[in-house]
Amino acid sequence: MDEYIVSARKYRPMTFDSVVGQQALTTTLKNAVKSGKLAHAYLFCGPRGVGKTTCARIFAKAINCEHPTPDGEACNGCESCKSFSEGRSYNIFELDAASNNSVENIKTLMEQTRIPPQVGRYKVFIIDEVHMLSTAAFNAFLKTLEEPPAHVIFILATTEKHKILPTILSRCQIYDFERMTVPDIINHLKQVAEKEGIAYDEQALSVIAEKADGGMRDALSIFDQTASFSQGNITYQKVIEDLNVLDAENYFRIIDLSMENKAAEIMVLLNNVINKGFDGGHLVNGLAAHVRNVLMAKDAQTLPLLEVSEQQRQKYQEQAQKCPTQFLYRALQIMNRCDVEYRQSSNKRLLVELTLIEVAQITQKEDEVPGAGRSPKRLKSLFKNIIKKALPKPAPQVAGASRNHQHGQQAGQADAADDTVQPAAQTAKTAIPAAAPLPTTPKINLGSLGMSFNNLLNEGKEKKVVQDDPEITNKDEEQQFTEQDLIVEWRGMCTRIGKTDAGMARRMKNLVPKITEFPHIEVLAENKILLEEMQVFKGRIRATMAQRLHNGNIKVTFRLADQGEIKPMLTPREELEKLKKENHSVAKLVEALGLDLA
């Protein structure tokens, strides 16, 4: 029985043309061999399993070939090529920097560079995983790397280019290897399967290629594993069973059910997936990638971005014809939000279920079924409609007498309802809405209304609901302010109120707020009615003062003034006239200079 060799070693490329997925790099290297324009140092960098070390060996072999082909390939017939193929070449050295990363190892390597080659033209030193060298070893390597002997060529290989010193990078020609594409991996696996006499499904090879994540070595290792499991007949079902991969049919099924708004069936499917041992977050991530592929399949320009088999590409195109673009955009947003919140969630399964339900309801018309949810944007209009229906309609006798009063009262109630659904931070920044003016006593036919005058007043009082205190958004600010600053801001607030309720603004302008114990503010009301009206907006008055005076610790209290405590707030012109009466010098100065208020 012949000794078994894994496919990654058995089918390792021996020529530039057999290297998969790196045509640009191999063409450059072949041209360098043909022209004889060789650099003294090369750096091959890229992901694992993409052919860095393989290309380094092929390049070293071609450099020393005595009779290279016109295409720049090694002839495989000269003594140099034969010695390399049999592993007895003294001109090509390969060093593993992961286990030989000290200064002593580099010094030993530098001593070998002094000896010229006995067969061939160059001594080639391949240093694999060069980023593992210590800083001292890099420094010892610098001088020789910059000015090596004419017969020496260095080929460095690494998976982590960012760990190499810039002084090393500047002395090398850098070649960046790309990840293998899924179609390239599938085509190479087909060739290996045909040479090994293994039956396969193209969809099964597609799963292997996606699992390899761009590495050919990983793809061949997985291929060997699945070939052993399936005993020479690689099928899709056996591959997903062996690799514990979630069947892509689940993703197609979830999207089809979401288009039909069948959230209950999606929940059953999710439960089956979890019972098979798959994580809910893994399902959401896979579904997001699936939706992205469906979105790419909608346009012929983005179709090449699908790294899947031809059979899978057709299925994506079929589903893309069924799904609206807006549905796909919205689904991606919902699943991306779930991915962000998944790690912090204490009930991860519930989060996944809510996400899938939300995806299933994207195309569902609002209010189509009793369980349809409402978006936050509709809550405000919903409450407005409820409030409008709940407001009593005025009788014909009082409609003409109190039209203005009822209009202001309904506006105040609607504003209060709006405030209950708006965020507290936004409420604090808006101007204080006008309170309803004191209702006048209309001439009412009590018999026709079926109620007493006292009941009417009590009904009006019950509608005055003290609003919740909005959140103070500037709690960290503690700026000092004087009573003059307080009065200025109080007047400005009253001016803004006057745009909606001039009567309330005039009554509040007559009040003089005072600082009792900084930063506490006290406001004396002239009468009980005004006190009750201001108490309704106490929290919003405090929020406005805190914002305008830049102090989040402000406290505002209202109390009914005793007799003699009320001092009307004078306008700037009234204050000037009072000052002129009390101080004759000021009056003479105003007359002499012709001063007046701006």
pLDDT digits (tens, 9 = 90+) for 261-274: 989 999 999 999 99
Indicate the fold that domain 249-360 takes in CATH.
Zinc Finger, Delta Prime; domain 3 (1.20.272)
Mean pLDDT value of segment 1-16: 81
Please tell me what DSSP assigns to residue 339.
Answer: H
> Is the pLDDT higher at 247 or at 570?
247
pLDDT digits (tens, 9 = 90+) for 144-157: 888 888 889 999 99
- Of the candidate CATH numbers 2.30.110.10, 3.40.50.300, 3.40.640.10, 3.40.50.720, the domain formed by 7-176 belongs to 3.40.50.300
Q: What pTM was estimated for this model as a whole?
A: 0.56
Alpha helix ranges (H) inside 361-477: 376-390, 396-399, 403-421, 424-429, 446-449, 453-462
Alpha carbon dihedral 70, 73, 78, 81, in 10-degree steps, equals 170
**What's the confidence (pLDDT) of residue 401?**
40
pLDDT digits (tens, 9 = 90+) for 545-560: 888 888 888 888 888 8
Indicate the fold that domain 182-243 takes in CATH.
Helicase, Ruva Protein; domain 3 (1.10.8)
d(CA 269, CA 597): 78
Q: How many residues does the chain have?
A: 598
Mean pLDDT value of segment 497-508: 79
> Is the pLDDT higher at 340 or at 401?
340
Q: Which of 186-190, 215-219, 275-279, 560-564 has the lowest mean pLDDT?
A: 560-564
Q: Which residues contact 270 (CB under 8 A, 6 or more apart)?
A: 280, 283, 352, 353, 356
- Mean confidence (pLDDT) of the chain: 79
**What's the confidence (pLDDT) of residue 45?**
92
Domain boundaries, the chain: 7-176, 182-243, 249-360, 374-507+515-565, 568-598
Query: Quick check: 288 and 339 in contact, CB under 8 A?
Result: yes
**What's the confidence (pLDDT) of residue 388?**
59
Q: To the nearest whole percent, how much of the chain has pLDDT over 90?
A: 14
List the structure tokens of 477: 């600010």
d(CA 181, CA 215): 9
State the CB neighbour count (10 A cutoff) for residue 344.
Answer: 8
The confidence band for 370, taking pLDDT boundaries of 50, 70 and 90, is: very low
The confidence band for 415, taking pLDDT boundaries of 50, 70 and 90, is: very low
**What's the confidence (pLDDT) of residue 294?**
92
> Is the pLDDT higher at 384 or at 550?
550
**What's the confidence (pLDDT) of residue 454?**
46
**What's the confidence (pLDDT) of residue 359?**
92
Which range is most confident: 120-129, 349-358, 491-500, 548-557? 349-358
Whether the predicted pLDDT of 161 surpasses 50: yes
